[in-house]
Structure 1
Amino acid sequence: MKRKTILLGLFVLAVWVISGCATVYKTSELETSGENYKTIAILPFEVTVQYNRLPKNVTSEQIRENEYELGFVFQNQIYNRFLQKKHKFAVNFQDVDKTNMMLRRNQIDIYNLGEFSKDELARLLEVDEVISAHVITSKPMSTGAALAVGILFDIWGPTNTAEVTVSLHSGKNSELLWRFNHVYSGGVGSSPEQLTHAMMGPVSRKFPYKS
């Protein structure tokens, strides 16, 4: 049983990875602006769990709670991945705990992030650029509220898809400097950890400011 579980996990991760080519946008300004930027903040992710209709006994509040929780899970995951590859980049990434603390002090959370421009957020966070991201997933992922919903109401299907968009904006004028977009496919038990692991390979290879 243990061996089967390991093999299933490897299969799910492989499915996340084998999903085609990503779309990457990069402004020409990046070629000359790297030396001017020192610190980058990673914002909590915007997460959307899409359903044509809610499964029986599942409320919109549960889905909303799941999206909120996943926003911070993804933020932490991508921050940790960047730290692991810190030696490859000529920039610093602000600790996400500090980022979230400063957002709370200014009454900003996942729900109203969109009301602020990227340069406003950069000034509040005292950074030079900000990373934002949007994940649109077709199923809950196995963490916290999603785990409870998935187990109690058996709404995980045989497949799971996630469209991931990661953007880098200037803290001076909100200019879009770089964007990564890709659609991943996974299976039962897909988690933020698995998705982040799959996406960080191409993201780190394409991300600017290499040291």
Structure 2
Amino acid sequence: MKKFLLFALLCITMASCGPEIYQAASFKEVKNNHKVVAVMPFEVTIESRKLPKGVTMEMIQDQQRDYGYGIQSDVYGYFLKEMSKNKYTVNFQDVSKTNAILNSYGITYDELRSKSKDEICQLLGVDAVVSGKTSMYKPMSDGAAIAVGIVTSAMGAGVWGRTNTVNTTITIHEATAGDLMWKYDYQASGSIGSSRQSLTNALMRNSSKKFPYKRS
């Protein structure tokens, strides 16, 4: 009986964390004109009410930026792998070119969120942009996971400890008016794995099933 109740509770928990998907009614028609899509650095927020000793907000901001560019690279890498199998109707702009163009216009990571998507598309010369937001809540106790993440990131591992909740959203905006065309919300609860890559892989594995540029 206890095992049954535990299984039922687990099913309810998993259902409550299911993805939410939005797609604009006009997107099916609009996407036929899309040829090149850029992947933007993700907007990352690490939330903790109390930082461990020796960890400053500047260090947190640096970690958020590094994670943002890291997720961008991971997502682009996933798209490249799928493109090699001819699974998409569009091509994706190389992220090094995307970031170089943004840098040439003096647009920093922190300034990206203040720019409209149509403006970004025009600067990059693309038909749409893929972007996203990731929020990490309550990393370990007293922010210990943040310290772990910063230390191991400096070593090149990009490792994080147990995290209660990670919310990630991946979106597509078109170039003409910057309108939101598609949105996928994904939540990972409990331990999400030991690296940024594991989070991105989980996001892409799930969202790719409904990705609108996928060939039918």
TM-score (norm 2): 0.80
2:88 aligns to what? 89
1:170 aligns to what? 174
Mark the CA change 1:134 to 1:143 in structure 2 (over 3 Å): closer, same or farther. farther
Sequence identity of aligned pairs in percent? 37
Mark the CA change 1:133 to 1:142 in structure 2 (over 3 Å): closer, same or farther. farther
Q: 1:147 aligns with which of 142, 152, 176?
A: 152
Which stretch shifts more, 140-149 or 167-176? 140-149
CA–CA separation in structure 1 for the residues paired with 2:147 and 2:77:
19
CA–CA separation in structure 1 for the residues paired with 2:163 and 2:116:
36
Which stretch shifts more, 139-148 or 89-98? 139-148
CA–CA separation in structure 2 for the residues paired with 1:22 and 1:97:
30
The alpha-carbon deviation at position 201 of structure 1 amounts to 1.1
2:25 aligns to what? 28
CA–CA separation in structure 2 for the residues paired with 1:177 and 1:188:
28
CA–CA separation in structure 1 for the residues paired with 2:167 and 2:188:
6
Equivalent residue letter for 2:80: L
Contact 1:43–1:75 at 8 Å: present in 2 too?
yes
CA RMSD, Structure 1 to Structure 2 (Å):
2.4
Which stretch shifts more, 19-28 or 33-42? 19-28
Q: Is residue 48 of structure 2 the alignment partner of residue 51 of structure 1?
A: yes
Contact 1:66–1:146 at 8 Å: present in 2 too?
no
Contact 2:73–2:95 at 8 Å: present in 1 too?
yes
Which stretch shifts more, 169-178 or 107-116? 107-116
Mark the CA change 1:141 to 1:101 in structure 2 (over 3 Å): closer, same or farther. farther
CA–CA separation in structure 1 for the residues paired with 2:34 and 2:26:
12
SS in 1 for 2:59: helix
1:181 aligns to what? 185
Structure 2: runs of 5 or more not aligned: 1-13, 140-144, 155-159
Contact 1:143–1:191 at 8 Å: present in 2 too?
no
CA–CA separation in structure 2 for the residues paired with 1:75 and 1:98:
13
Contact 2:90–2:213 at 8 Å: present in 1 too?
yes
Alignment of 1:84-163 (within 5 A): 84-86=81-83, 87-138=86-137, 139=139, 145=150, 147=152, 158-163=162-167
Count of aligned residue pairs for this structure pair: 189
SS in 2 for 1:173: coil
Give the structure, 1 or 2, with the largest relative contact order (CA under 8 Å, sep 6 or more): 1
Measured against aligned partners, the alpha-carbon deviations of 1:162-194 in whole angstroms (never above 9, x if no partner) come to 100111001110110000111112438621100
CA–CA separation in structure 2 for the residues paired with 1:200 and 1:143:
25
CA–CA separation in structure 2 for the residues paired with 1:204 and 1:142:
32
Q: 2:64 aligns with which of 55, 64, 67?
A: 67
CA–CA separation in structure 2 for the residues paired with 1:45 and 1:158:
21
